[in-house]
Structure 1
Amino acid sequence: MADMASAGKSPSLDMSAGTTAGTDSTPWQRAATGANLLSPDGTLGVTIFEEMTTLALSTGAINLGQGFPDEDGPAEIKAAAQSAIAQGANQYAPGKGTAALREAIATHQQRFYGLNPDPDTEVLVTTGATEAIAATLLAFIQPGDEVLTFEPFYDSYGAIIGMAGGNHVTAPLLAPDFLPDLAELEDSFSSRTKIVLLNNPHNPTGAVFPEPVLTRIVELAAKYGAIIVSDEVYEHLTFGVRHIPITSLPGAAERTITISSAGKTFSFTGWKIGWLSGPAELVAAVRTVKQFLTYSSGTPFQSAIAVGLALPDEFYTGIANTLRHKRDILAEGLRAAGFGVYNPSGTYFINVDTAPLGIRDSVDLARRLPGLVGVAAIPVPVFCHPEGAERTRSLLRFAFCKKADVLEEAAARLATLKDRL
């Protein structure tokens, strides 16, 4: 029983402790530090997505910051979810996912890539790709283990690595193609490298890794005994280039967990249906952790996504072609604005260089852009460690997963930027 002196008091939090994400800090502090949310003086900030969304709302700007579509996906998938709800699929799904969805995932992997995961032991359904990433890292990382990502990196990677007590090591992706220097890539590996966390197609750069790059990653992972975790949520959103699952390359399958989700492919990000596949022993380890996070989720949505994965090839080519057209609309406005434009090979995102406008600080410009022209974007340095932030200091990321008329309006607004600066 609490004594009278402490009864009724709220626990205090030392906001300054553990800002270097050391093992003596608390998990939340390590997560915040890993996601670049905790400053050296201990100030806890908000994510850049929240900051830019707030700015967009307050100024009436078009929000091309956060990567979510502004229209729903296929009607037949929505109808399948509604039907599942009406038919009573509203209780817990099995912890590893419904049989229908696991079988659909296995069939999808065979159909598109010639892979044959066992739906009973080598496929796991998760609450979005984010949980798949978190459960995987928490399953295998011990304090002091190194996790290698490519930089810039999706902010959730740093957060989970920090939460698990791992050391986050990065290998730079270099403009204009945003691919790693293969001659120097091994410098990022060590005897402590436990996981290579790959995002391909890559957010935020839009790069699609070609086979020579993937082959070198497999060679180095094998040499250093590392697990490969491949986040492939944009697998169907590539423009004129082929997505190659790294697990399909020689020597990769026995050490690779492949992650994807329904959110990006089908434009149902709010449903949070993700999955992973890989060797049975690795999947079992991840399932052990995952069952104590959410256990299961989205029963009627799982049934609907199983329907979606069986859609004809025309659907998959159609979504990529539509998105490519949207990319080109926005790119035209960005070039008219005076930016240096890096055309992406995949994903929802296009990156620009602000240096041709005489601006070197993309963070500052991102904060001014909603007021200047009524468009919000995300500065790329926030996806980097300090050295990488300096290297990408003049880069901005825009999302083009919006309606065409919204992008046309954004392009027209951006074209006025040079006159407004």
Structure 2
Amino acid sequence: MIRRRTTLLTGCTTLVLAVTLTACGGDGDVSAGGGDKPLSGRTVSVAGVWSGTEQQNFQKVLDAFTEQTGAETEFVSTGDNVSTVVGSKIEGGNAPDVVMVPQVGVLQQFAQEGWLQELSQTTQDSVDANFAPVWKNYGSVDGSLYGVYFKAAHKSTVWYSPDALAQAGVESPTTYDEMLTAGQTVSDSGLAAFAVAGQDGWTLTDWFENIYLSQAGPEKYDALAAHELKWTDASVVEALTTLGELFKDKQLIAGGQNGALNTDFPGSVEKVFGPQPEAGMVYEGDFVAAVAKDEYGRTIGEDANFFPFPAVDGGEPPVVSGGDAAVVIKEGKNQEAGMAFVEWLATPEAAAVWAGLGGYLSPNKSMDLAGYPDDVTRATAQSLIDAGDAVRFDMSDQAPAAFGGTKGAGEWKILQDFLRDPSDPSATAGQLEAAAAKAYQD
């Protein structure tokens, strides 16, 4: 049970979560342990992309909200195409009250469609107090706050088997060239260097983004993310060339290019941390740890660890993030309860529920890091918080979904083709620009 005192304001309802709950209707204080609660009889429907362990852990967050407020909750899994599913539900008169939006571009799309309710002053005050300004910026459109980033991902982490690196006699690298050299040594010792999840195009965009942010710098990263810089720019070709050095080296990638294209994200983690390892390292976000721990029984910090994505060509080490922002849908049937839920998600108490379960990072700087289950997760969370406004949100997640967030299309498909044949970075850059130009124009 969450014990710290938190105040949520929504419409005419004031919820004091912890020892007491107070409703503005004049019913007075009621015990959190029983009796009527301000949102009893309400149901909050929450849509999001999560499934499996993530959905189960988020359900604990929903249950904690129910315990505090009396509101029932219903989770609707949208799959990856959240914009299509939510749009269909709105058109069909069955809109969810809250959506956990996984992409900045989709949040912006929802706001431009007029689907979102601007968040309450209480939420805005919490965001100002508890989050670095960059997170408020990513949750805002035209100066209005629509989204609270409840769950973040640190996408600049390379996970490895300590045994594999120790057997190869290599240490954690600090530059990209050192990482490839270490990978060759791991390969010489009998394992492939990297498991690459090429079947999931989003993992390839993350590879590109880390290289590009470090190599080209944050100003060009921001310009490319906003399509103020064309994808045919020399900096893009240079980053693709750097990425291609990895993709074309069959010794570095488990199963070579075809093997990578037939490996999804969970499969890439299995190839490093499963019962029959095929590779020593896997690049992806902090969420690798949850799969390694929950699926393969790895102890984080002992037989599964990470090093920061290394600096490229003398640039700064990148800190790329992603995240899920809670937004309130105007057409939801329980908008007031939905707003109360989002207000609660902006508090460190809500973050602590999932943090203790693992597989989760919060951008909420007021959350006590002791709430994370292990030192490695605490270090990852601290790195994300310390980065402050140097954090750059996943570039593909900032783009229109047609370019940066659709299976078999746009950037995902083009980078899969590049993995298959990385021989012509300039041509790939041209394809990316054509797809981006169309998506941003539409």
Query: What's the TM-score once normalised by structure 1's chain length?
Result: 0.27
